[in-house]
Amino acid sequence: MAMTASSRAPESAAHQEGERSPFARTTELLAPYKPAKPLITLSLGEPQHPVPGFVGPVLAQYTAEFGRYPMARGIEPFRRAAASWLSSRFDLPRAIDPETEILVLNGSREGLFFAALTAARYVGERRGGPAILMPNPFYPAYGAGARAAGCEQIYLPTTLANGFLPDLDALDDATLARTVAIYIASPANPQGSVAGRDYFSRLKNLADRFGFVILSDECYSEIYTREAPGSALECAGPDFTNVVAFQSLSKRSNLPGMRVGFAAGDKKFLSAFHELRNVAAPQVPVPLQQVAVAAYRDEAHVEENRRLYRIKFDLADRILGNRYGYRRPAGGFCVWLDVSSRGGDEAAAVKLYRDAGVRVIPGSYLARQQASGFNPGAGYIRLALVSDGESTAEALHRLVETLD
């Protein structure tokens, strides 16, 4: 079935409610209840593994740099370190140019938001009302960016039937002709699905044919338990035309509070992106960029990070088994469970919080209602396996005991 303008949800009360933070909505949902057991929070995807040991010494070494305004594009050592890491980590058509194809960001969220504003100006006139496409469920920054850019949000449902990735065959030419940009997340949040080279190549062909930009959110690319996920940049051609990838140290290096990441790819887009961010976005402090230099030059702490997540997914494999449609994800640290037979996602979230002291997030809060009335997140709950192994095991045991 073709994806058209009607795929946007109507401006109903439910739709307006969907524009709010899923975490705020979860807090309101659970506010009337008190957990019967000590609380274990699995709702927030905030890494809780140890901060790498090099962070403190690097900050101490460069403390004086807090007294200067940073360059918006990023210091040269940061851009070189990020470019070098990309070239060594992924099978790129050529090495990234640190002078023109890398921009520092205050974490990927800020960059993903401002990228929508840039894309709306960068791509020029569209055939019809400009639109930004995004997977559904999706990271809230995508929707916020599209709204701020004045673009229609078109939600592409990601379900078990399509491998939890947007169905590119469902996009019709009329919709693509007015598309400004498409957000794609690989590994996906919340389902952990990974786009392969063929998928990225097909998406790249569509972007070149219709003249829109691919905004590839790859912040979970370093968390996996089997094969390493690829990047949209691998299939972007020698000039990375129409492709921009976003990375962050929040997940890779357990530094969610540091707010450092980068955008890489199409230098023409990044030039326009830099012009906007130079006047509108906060700069990244130099000491934090120096920490990032150290982080991108070290893989030992990333390998340890993956080891700890692997232990927790091994626990999930054993404790959950084949319950609730559980499948070990290809990437990321989230678990996506089907609780539709347990009263639905809101009811299950309330029951787990009230009776088991386990806080999860209803899947419908992470998605938006399609025009048909279907919410692809409804009936699911998301768990983020960010706690230590002992707490994770306890939470999973409580979940099974409570829902079964």
Average pLDDT of every residue of the chain: 95
Model confidence pLDDT, tens digit, residues 169-185: 999 999 999 999 999 99
CB atoms within 10 A of CB 188: 28
Model confidence pLDDT, tens digit, residues 38-55: 999 999 999 999 999 999
Confidence (pLDDT) at 16: 54
Spatial contact of 114 and 95, defined as CB atoms under 8 Å apart:
no
Confidence (pLDDT) at 122: 95
pTM above 0.75, yes or no: yes
Taking the domains of the chain in order of start, what are their residue ranges?
A: 5-50+301-403, 67-298
Please state, in angstroms and as integers, the Cα–Cα distance from residue 120 to each residue in 125, 181, 218, 338, following that order. Answer: 9, 8, 21, 36
In this structure, the strands spanning 261-265 and 243-248 are antiparallel
Model confidence pLDDT, tens digit, residues 223-240: 998 899 999 999 999 999
Q: In sequence order, what are the beta bridge partners of 171?
A: 3
Confidence of residue 74 (pLDDT cuts 50, 70, 90): very high
Contact residues for 9 (Cβ-Cβ < 8 A; gap 6+): 15, 18, 155, 368, 369, 370, 371
CATH superfamily of this structure's domain 5-50+301-403: Aspartate Aminotransferase, domain 1 (3.90.1150.10)
Confidence (pLDDT) at 293: 98
Rounded to 5 degrees, φ, ψ at 167 are: -80, 105
- Give me the amino acid identity at 283: Q
The topology (CATH level 3) of 67-298 is Aspartate Aminotransferase; domain 2 (3.40.640)
Q: In sequence order, what are the beta bridge partners of 103?
A: 263
Confidence (pLDDT) at 6: 38
Rounded to 5 degrees, φ, ψ at 199 are: -65, -50
Confidence (pLDDT) at 20: 86
Spatial contact of 306 and 225, defined as CB atoms under 8 Å apart:
yes
Model confidence pLDDT, tens digit, residues 182-216: 999 999 999 999 999 999 999 999 999 999 999 99
Rounded to 5 degrees, φ, ψ at 194 are: -125, 130
CB atoms within 10 A of CB 39: 12
Q: Which of 7-21, 123-137, 152-166, 298-312 has the lowest mean pLDDT?
A: 7-21
Alpha helices for 9-54 (secondary structure H): 13-18, 22-30
Confidence of residue 10 (pLDDT cuts 50, 70, 90): very low
For residue 80, how far is the Cα from the chain centroid? 24
Spatial contact of 264 and 82, defined as CB atoms under 8 Å apart:
yes
For residue 187, how far is the Cα from the chain centroid? 8
